[in-house]
């Protein structure tokens, strides 16, 4: 599932292409949005919260999309305010296509899409924890929500968007590796939780600013993570083969990669 860095990058690109411009072409392929036409409305801003992309419109509504496991937004040049030949082939399996005089935003494989009144947004995302990518994120305040999970494993806690939003399997694993904490350690026993959250935020924001997603700051293929996705490969710190465990309750459990030597407990 896309994590906070991917959502931040997607929202920033959409905001650059669509914000401040009037929608000249709209195609929404979603059951609850049948017949909905946003043509003529102006996109005021595009932002991300957790794993939601929020496109605020001047009509007082917000178009919300969620990427789920494999969704993505593409930006292509428009031709006369519509998808041009280069992007038309991209629209056939898309869930949302929004164009202005210059650009086309194409939402592929979106896991969720709806149109809600902007003033109702707090009711929609109010169940989520603090967004680790937000400019105003306070790791000290968020740490209390994490510590309230008590005996629950820290890996499952960090993945719970109701506790803190924006961290997925990659940055859960990478953060815990650098913190030398096993993913199944009880949350209450994890040292310096504010520092841990601040570090996760640092990794995510660095990746969001990079050319391609990276948990290490290196964009060379095969060097973008320290533990995630590296099962049985040697730990970059000590050489021990990387292991994996499942965290969370089935069927929503997720893989958590770790080094048995560097993360003994």
CATH number at residue 173: 1.10.8.50
Active site residue 254: yes
Q: For residues 143 and 112, state if they share a domain.
A: no
Res. 6: pLDDT tops 90: no
Q: What is the average pLDDT across 152-180?
A: 96
Give me the residues paired with residue 65 across strands.
53, 113
pLDDT of 99: 96
Examine the pLDDT at 1 and tell me if it is beyond 70. no
Asked whether residue 234 carries a pLDDT value surpassing 90, the answer given is: yes
Q: Which of 236, 254, 255, 260 is catalytic?
A: 254
pLDDT in tens, 101-153: 999 999 998 888 999 999 998 888 888 999 999 888 999 999 999 999 999 99
Tally of CB atoms within 10 A around 201: 23
Range of the domain at 112: 4-125
78 with 52, same domain?
A: yes
pLDDT exceeding 70 applies to what percent of the chain?
98
- Residue 89: predicted pLDDT: 66
Q: Please identify, among 70, 100, 125, the residue that sits at the C-terminal boundary of a domain.
A: 125
Are both 56 and 96 inside the same structural domain? yes
Residues 14 and 78 grouped into a single domain: yes
Query: Is residue 117 located within the same domain as residue 185?
Result: no
pLDDT on residue 155: 97
The half-sphere exposure of 264 on its side-chain side, counting CA atoms within 13 A, is 2
Measured between alpha carbons, how far is 50 from 71 in angstroms, rounded to an integer? Answer: 15
The number of folded domains in the chain is 2
Q: DSSP string spanning 145-211?
A: HHHTTTTSBHHHHHH-TTTSBS--HHHHHHHHHHTT--TTSBGGG-S-HHHHHHHHHHHHHHHHHSS
Q: Is the same domain home to 120 and 147?
A: no
pTM for the model = 0.83
Q: Token digits for 77?
A: 């040049």
In a domain, 47, yes or no: yes
Instruction: Indicate whether 36 pLDDT > 80.
Output: yes
pLDDT of 3 higher than 90: no
Q: Could you tell me if residue 182 is inside a domain?
A: yes
Which of residues 259 and 95 earns the better pLDDT score? 259
Active site residue 2: yes
Q: Is 243 in the same domain as 200?
A: yes
> Of 91, 125, 159, which one is at a domain's C-terminal end?
125
pLDDT, tens digit (0-9, with 9 covering 90-100), for 43-64: 999 999 887 899 999 999 999 9
Instruction: Classify residue 133: in a domain, yes or no.
Output: no
Is residue 3 part of the annotated active site? The answer reads yes
Q: Which pLDDT does position 252 carry in this prediction?
A: 83
Establish if 134 belongs to a structural domain. no
User: Do 197 and 87 belong to one domain?
Assistant: no
- Taking CA 123 as the corner, what is the angle to CA 1 and CA 94, rounded to the nearest 5 degrees? 40
Kindly state whether residue 52 falls inside one of the protein's structural domains.
Answer: yes
* CATH number for the domain that contains residue 97: 3.20.190.10
Catalytic residue among 51, 152, 182, 185: 51
Does 42 share its domain with 111?
A: yes
Q: Of all residues in the chain, what percent carry a pLDDT higher than 90?
A: 74
Examine the fold and report which residue of 72, 95, 125 is the final residue of a domain before the chain moves on: 125
Helix (H, G, I), strand (E, B) or coil at 10: helix
């Amino acid at each position: 599932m896309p994590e906070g860095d991917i959502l931040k990058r997607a929202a920033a690109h959409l905001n650059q292409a669509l914000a401040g411009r009037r929608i000249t072409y709209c195609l929404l392929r979603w059951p609850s949005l049948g017949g909905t036409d946003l043509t003529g409305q102006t996109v005021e801003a595009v932002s991300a919260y957790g794993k939601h992309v929020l496109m605020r419109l001047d009509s007082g509504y917000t178009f919300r999309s969620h990427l789920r496991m494999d969704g993505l937004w593409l930006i292509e040049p428009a031709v006369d305010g519509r998808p041009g030949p280069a992007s038309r082939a991209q629209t056939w399996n898309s869930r949302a296509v929004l164009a202005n005089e210059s650009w086309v935003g194409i939402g592929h494989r979106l896991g969720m899409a709806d149109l809600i009144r902007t003033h109702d947004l707090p009711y929609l995302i109010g169940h989520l924890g603090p967004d680790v990518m937000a400019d105003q994120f306070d790791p000290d305040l968020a740490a209390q929500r994490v510590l309230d999970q008590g005996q629950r494993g820290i890996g499952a806690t960090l993945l719970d968007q109701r506790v803190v939003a924006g961290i997925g399997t990659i940055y859960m694993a990478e953060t815990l590796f650098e913190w030398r904490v096993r993913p199944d350690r009880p949350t209450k026993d994890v040292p310096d939780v504010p520092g841990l959250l601040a570090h996760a935020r640092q990794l995510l924001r660095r990746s969001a600013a990079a050319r391609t997603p990276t948990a290490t700051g290196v964009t060379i293929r095969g060097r973008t993570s320290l533990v995630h996705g590296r099962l049985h490969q040697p730990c970059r710190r000590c050489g021990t083969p990387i292991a994996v465990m499942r965290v969370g309750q089935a069927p929503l459990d997720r893989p958590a990669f770790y080094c048995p030597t560097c993360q003994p407990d």
